A and B are shown apart, each in its own frame.
Chain A
Amino acid sequence: MGILGRCVLVALAVLAGACGSGEGGDQSSTTTADHDHDHEVMEGIALDGLDHPPTVEVAAESDGAGNVVVAVTLTGIELVPADPPGDHQPGQGHLHISVDGETVAMTSHAVHYLTGLADGHHEVAVRLSANDHRDYLFGGSPIGDSTMVMVTGGTVPKAPDLVFAVEVSDGTVVGGVQRFEAMVGDLIEISVTSDVDDEVHLHAYDMTVHLHAGSTTTLLVEGTIPGVFEAELHGAGYRVFELQVS
């Protein structure tokens, strides 16, 4: 979640950069990431020298039952399986497909099915990636395309009824262990921010989510079981919060 989140941030930063410098075609840089995330720097492969760089066009269509068919039209690239990652071969690559900024698939097929989407508008984006998962760049930005799709007949999106937040810092829970109170049937969102890597386990609901140092992880709990439940840090062993469902 955290790494994914940061990838998305990076991707957004890239997109923002691309929008901001529309005609910045003379940029010769091969890096795409902002320098706040040095360890996340993603080297791209610039294809600016090619006369006919690969092109990607994406179309997405909802089937009315919560699923979306993603069809990608490509030129100038041969799709090869992404797993296991291979060495970069010019002219070869695969597709990274993301929905609403979260990568959901890496595929070597030009047609991909997305299932189980919630009703509403979603952004489907496709980027062209080399065998070693580096992005192909042209003019300093990744080669790709995106489109919006309206999904119907899928799951009904719900906004959480209650939102709670807790922070783990310096080996302790900031402000002490709190009890979050909710009613049966509530959709409860609890975000946990941590300065260390660990796991949060919520008893009885049996939810385990990973925490990444310096980022926030969100638990989405449907309050189906009444009672008071402890959430513990697996690694550290102590309680981070209690959830009371009544």
Chain B
Amino acid sequence: MTPPAELVLLAHGVGGRSDLPIPEWRAAWGAVVILALSFAVLGRLWPKALLRNAAEGRHLGIGADRLARLLGVVAVVVGTVLSTVVLSAGLVGPDTNVSNIAPVTVYVIFWVGVPLSSALLGDIWRAFSPWEALGRLVEAPTRVLRPVPGLVGAGWPALIPVGAFLWLELAYHDGARPRVLAWAGITYTVCLLALARRSGWGVARRSEGFGVLFGAVGAVSPLYRSDGRLRIRPPFSGLARLETPAPVVAILLMAIGGTAFDGFSRTRFWGDILTGRSGWEATIVNTVGLAWIVLLVGLAYHLACRVGGRVTGDQNPAERFGASLVPILLGYSVAHYFSLLLLEGQAFRSLLSDPYGLGWNLFGTLGDPIHWTLVSTTVVGWVQLVAIVVGHMAAVVAAHDRAVEAWSPTKAIRSQYPMLVVMVAYTMAALVLVAG
């Protein structure tokens, strides 16, 4: 019998290869030592806040500005066309997660490709986002914009799309069905545009959870635009200028928790719990697991902030140190999804040639097989280890920089001990989970 030549996306929206264990405990202890050492070194060598000034960067030049503007226009077109195609293909294309372009685009290109690119190139989602373009379009400048309740204005609704996305990806048993994805996308678009029409895109944008999340990730990028000028700065320095109000902190914690659960759900422990369960029964068990891990991640962070805040008398430490969650999320994402993007992502290339399953071959890539050996498991293992360790180191540095910005070095260091404990816990958990 001939096995089907296509990629099969199953269960979690994503499927396929997970990577070989790195010697997990040795890696975890190494990472802990590195974290503790860098914390000690920071106390001695980093007495004053440096990042906020460094984040100013320098102007790249007029040519770069023009290029950025041009690419921005291209991105708007590409983003609008691609999302229309993917949404309509999800609605009318073949309703199998194998041969439809929607699942791989949503779960690999959008959810993994966009944030990882944002970390390198800045807030690119703002250019690609079809909601950004549509939201501005439907905003009626002649009408009086009606105010929204405080919670909406603060951006709390942004938790809904991100939470729903994680649930579809990681818990719902049919979350990779093209029809499910298409209807979810349509529902979200309609709600968002209604809000933009009613109260303006400026308000609605704060509820566009993906934009909020990807924008925060873009803060680590060495590239950013200010007043139409493209500027370059040291990587990660942008974190010093990233404001993270409570909803943004919640979204970041949610995304970290989701990624952690993705790793957790691949462990044999969870596999044994799920064995024999299918359909809604599996969905419920996964929902409980997802919520549990997200809560655990969030509680650990808030507890550390509260204990640290007692030292300094800080009223709102969770928001002050929120930006340090970004490199952690980034490290988790790279570790978990780097191979997914490079391997399963290849299916996108192939399906782009025939998005509606009509036998087209627009770019001549239809039916291209996936090169599963494109990256070796050794490379993947190292990328995972480095991503997690560097992510947490950057987080420690960013948090330290924020602390010395506000308080004397001694006080700052003391306030950071609980945070260090949480970072160590996150790092250990991350390394054990990628080892699966």
Q: In the complex, which residues of chain B have a beta carbon less than 8 angstroms from the beta carbon of A239?
A: 271, 274-275
Closest chain A CB from B436 CB (angstroms): 7
Is A173 at the interface (CB under 8 A from chain B)?
Answer: yes
Q: B377: CB under 8 A from chain A?
A: yes
CA–CA, A206 and B21, complex, Å: 22
**For residue A224, which residues in chain B have a CB less than 8 angstroms away from its CB?**
373
Cα–Cα, bound, A205→B173 (Å): 22
B6 proximity list for chain A (CB < 8 A): 206
Residues in B whose Cβ lies below 8 Å from that of A203: 8, 10, 15-17
Q: Are B1 and A171 in contact (CB under 8 A)?
A: no
Question: Once the chains are docked, how many angstroms separate the CA of A236 from the CA of B277?
Answer: 8
Chain A residues within an 8 Å CB radius of B376:
226
B272 interface neighbour in A176, A204, A205, Cβ under 8 Å = A176
A182 CB to closest chain B CB, in angstroms?
12
Contact-size category for A: 20 to 34
Interface residue? A227 (CB, 8 A): yes
A205 with B19: CB separation less than 8 A: no
B8 partner residues in chain A, CB cutoff 8 A: 201, 203, 206
Q: Kindly state whether residue A105 has any CB partner on chain B within 8 Å.
A: no
Asked if residues A237 and B272 are in contact (CB atoms below 8 Å), the reply is no
Q: Does B5 contact A (CB under 8 A)?
A: yes
CB distance from A238 to the nearest CB of B (A): 5
Per the CB 8 Å criterion, the residue count for chain B at the interface is: 35
Chain B residue nearest to A207 in the complex (CB): B3
B372/A225 in contact, CB under 8 A: yes
CB distance from B78 to the nearest CB of A (A): 29
> Chain B at the A interface: mostly helix, strand, loop or mixed?
loop
Q: Kindly list chain B residues whose C-beta atoms are within 8 Å of the C-beta of A205.
A: 3
From the candidates A176, A226, A232, A242, name the one contacting B10 in the complex (CB within 8 A): A232
Question: Is there contact, CB below 8 Å, between A246 and B20?
Answer: yes
Q: Which residue of A lies closest to B277 (CB)?
A: A238
A229 to B7, CA, bound (A): 13
Chain A residues numbered 217-246 whose CB sits less than 8 Å from any CB in chain B: 224-230, 232, 235-239, 242, 244, 246
Asked if B84 is at the interface (CB within 8 A of a chain A CB), the reply is: no
Q: A204-B372, A206-B6, A206-B7 are in contact. Are A225 and B276 (CB under 8 A)?
A: no
* Chain B, 265-306, CB within 8 A of any chain A CB: 266, 268, 271-272, 274-279, 282
Q: Is the CB of A238 within 8 A of B276?
A: yes
- Interface status of B312 (Cβ within 8 A of chain A): no
Given contacts A232-B10, A237-B11, contact A204 B275 (CB under 8 A): no
Do residues B275 and A173 form an inter-chain contact, with CB atoms below 8 A?
A: yes
Q: Which of B1, B5, B20, B279 makes the CB contact (< 8 A) with A209? A: B1
Q: A177 at the A/B interface (Cβ < 8 Å)?
A: yes
- B281 nearest CB across to chain A (Å): 10
How far is A204 from B372 in the complex, measured between Cα atoms in Å? 7
Does any Cβ of A come within 8 Å of B18's Cβ? yes
Closest to B372 in A: A225
Residue of B nearest to A1 (CB): B1
Task: Decide if A6 is an interface residue (CB 8 Å cutoff).
Answer: no
Could you tell me the distance in whole angstroms from the C-beta of A220 to the nearest C-beta in chain B? 11
Query: Please, how many angstroms separate the alpha-carbon atoms of A63 and B374 in the complex?
Result: 40
> Does chain A have a CB within 8 A of B149?
no
Contacts of A232 in B (CB 8 A): 10-11, 15
Residues of A within 8 A of B10 (CB): 201, 203, 232
User: Which of B1, B278, B377 is in CB contact (< 8 Å) with A237?
Assistant: B278
Looking at A172, A208, A239, A244, the one whose CB has the most chain B CB atoms below 10 A away is A239
Q: List 29 A-B contacts (CB under 8 A).
A: A171-B276, A176-B268, A176-B275, A201-B10, A203-B10, A203-B17, A204-B370, A206-B4, A206-B5, A206-B7, A206-B8, A208-B3, A225-B17, A225-B372, A225-B373, A226-B376, A227-B18, A227-B377, A228-B19, A228-B436, A229-B16, A230-B266, A232-B11, A236-B278, A238-B271, A238-B276, A238-B277, A238-B278, A242-B268
Chain B residues within 8 Å of A, Cβ to Cβ: 1, 3-8, 10-11, 15-21, 173, 266, 268, 271-272, 274-279, 282, 343, 370, 372-373, 376-377, 436
**Given A172-B275, A204-B17, 4 further pairs, Cβ under 8 A:** A173-B275, A208-B4, A209-B1, A227-B20
